[in-house]
Amino acid sequence: MQNRRDFLNMLCRGSILTGLAATTGILVYRSVKGGNCELGSSCTNCGKSDSCDLPEASLFRQTVWQLDPSKCIQCGRCAENCVMSPSAVKVTHVYAMCGYCDLCGGYLKPDTKNISTAAENQLCPTAAIKRKFVEDPFYQYTIDEPLCIGCAKCVKGCGAFGNGSLQLQVRHDRCVNCNECAIARDCPADAFSRVPANKPYLLQGIEAKPEERI
Amino acid sequence: MKKTLAIVFLVFLFAVQFMNSYAIQRFPKPEFESGYVQPETLLPNPRAEMLAILDIAVLIISLSVVSWLVIKKRNRNAVFWMSVFALAYFGFYREGCVCSIGSIQNVTLAIFDTSYLIPLSAIIFFMAPLVYTAFFGRTFCAAVCPFGAIQDLVAFSPQKLGSRLNAVLGVIPYIYLGLAVLYAATGTDFIICRYDPFVGIWRLDASFGMFIFGGILLVVGIFIARPYCRFLCPYGVLLNWTSRFSRKHITITPAECIQCRLCENSCPYDAIEMPVTTKNPEDKGTMARKLIFITILIPILMLAGGWVGSRLHEPLASVNAKVRLAKQILNPVTEKNQPETFEIEAFKSAGKQQSQAFAEASVVLHKFYIGSWILGGFIGLVFGGLIAGRMMTKHRTDYTPNKGTCLSCVRCVDYCPVKLPK
> Which of the 8 DSSP states describes residue A104?
-
Residues B265, B361, single domain; the answer is no
Q: Do B321 and A190 touch (CB under 8 A)?
A: yes
Do B247 and B214 belong together in one domain? Answer: yes
The mean pLDDT value of chain B amounts to 88
Question: Which residue, among A32, A62, A67, would best test binding to B if mutated, counting the most B CBs under 10 Å from its CB?
Answer: A62
> By C-alpha distance, which of A99, A109, A162, A105 is closest to A134?
A99
Domain region containing B201:
51-275+396-415
% pLDDT > 70, chain A? 80
**The complex's ipTM?**
0.81
Alpha-carbon gap, residue B411 to B418, rounded angstroms: 15
Specify if B379 maps to a domain.
yes
Whether A100 has its CB under 8 Å from any CB of chain B: the answer is: yes
The answer to whether position B8 is within a domain reads no
Q: For residue A206, is pLDDT > 90?
A: no
Same structural domain, B88 and B101: yes
CA B418: distance to chain centroid?
39
Which pLDDT value is given to residue A32? 66
In terms of phi and psi (left: phi > 0; alpha: psi -120 to 50; beta: otherwise), the region of B337 is left
Does one domain contain both B326 and B411?
Answer: no
Would you tell me which residues 204-233 of chain B have a C-beta closer than 8 angstroms to some C-beta of chain A?
205-206
Q: So what's the pLDDT on residue B148?
A: 95
pLDDT digits (tens, 9 = 90+) for B251-286: 999 988 898 889 988 999 999 988 887 656 667 788
Q: For A46-102, give the DSSP string.
A: -S-STT--SGGGSTT--EEEEE-TTT----SHHHHH-SSSS-SEEEEE-GGG----S
pLDDT at A40 over 70: no
Confidence of residue B307 (pLDDT cuts 50, 70, 90): very high
B97 assigned to some structural domain: yes
Residue type (1 letter), A186: D
Prediction pTM value:
0.86
Q: Does B41 fall in a domain? A: no
Cβ atoms A101, A139 nearer than 8 A: yes
Q: State the total domains in chain B.
A: 2
Nearest-angstrom CA–CA distance, B319 and B159:
38
What's the gap in Å between the CA of B239 and the closest CA on chain A? Answer: 11
Q: What is the pLDDT of residue B4?
A: 65
Per the domain annotation, does B18 fall within a domain? Answer: no
Q: Is the pLDDT higher at B110 or at B114? A: B110
The residue-averaged pLDDT of B371-380 equals 96
pLDDT digits (tens, 9 = 90+) for B309-318: 999 999 999 9
* Strands annotated E in chain A: 63-67, 89-93, 129-135, 138-143, 166-170, 192-196
Do B117 and B89 fall into the same domain?
Answer: yes
pLDDT of residue A185: 83
| pLDDT score, position B10 | 56
Least Cα distance to B175 among B319, B367, B308 occurs for B308
- How far apart CA B179 and CA B171 sit, in angstroms, is 13
- Chain centre distance of CA B261: 36
The answer as to whether B336 is a domain residue is: no
Comparing CA positions, the residue from B62, B88, B224 lying closest to residue B154 is: B224
- Helix/strand/coil for A168: strand
**The pLDDT of residue A64:** 86
Same domain membership, residue B406 and residue B386: no
Cβ of A211: how many Cβ atoms within 10 Å?
6
Nearest Cα residue to A38 out of A50, A28, A46: A46
State whether B264 and B292 are in the same domain. no
Share the mean pLDDT of chain A: 81
The 10 Å Cβ neighbour count of residue A33 is 10
Give, in order, the Cα–Cα distances in Å from B57 to each of A121, B47, B314, B350. Answer: 54, 17, 43, 44
Question: Across residues B87-114, what is the average pLDDT?
Answer: 91
- Higher-confidence position of B89 and B46: B89
* CB atoms B199 and A85 under 8 Å: no
> What average pLDDT does this structure show over A73-93?
90
Q: Do B302 and B173 belong to one domain? A: no
The whole-number average pLDDT for the span A57-65 is 68
CA distance A97 to A105: 14
Say whether residue A16 is in contact with chain B using an 8 A CB cutoff.
Answer: yes
> Does residue B395 have a pLDDT over 50?
yes
B-chain residues near A94 (CB < 8 A): 41
Same domain membership, residue B182 and residue B195 = yes
Task: Tell me how far apart the alpha carbons of residues B213 and A175 are, in angstroms, rounded to a whole number.
Answer: 24
pLDDT for B108 equals 95
Together in a domain, B162 and B216: yes
Task: Give the mutation candidate from A6, A37, A61, A83 for the B interface (greatest B CB count, under 10 A).
Answer: A83
Nearest to B67 by CA among B8, B125, B144, B1: B144
User: Which residues lie closer than 8 Å to A154 by C-beta, 6 or more apart?
Assistant: A91, A106, A107, A123, A124, A129, A166
Q: How far B77 CA sits from the closest chain A CA (Å)?
A: 30
Helix axes B76-86, B146-154, angle to 10 degrees: 120
Q: Are residues B128 and B260 in the same domain?
A: yes
At B23, the pLDDT band (50, 70, 90 cuts) reads: very low
| Structural domain contains residue B192 | yes
Instruction: Tell me if B260 is assigned to some domain.
Output: yes
Are B258 and B289 within one domain? no
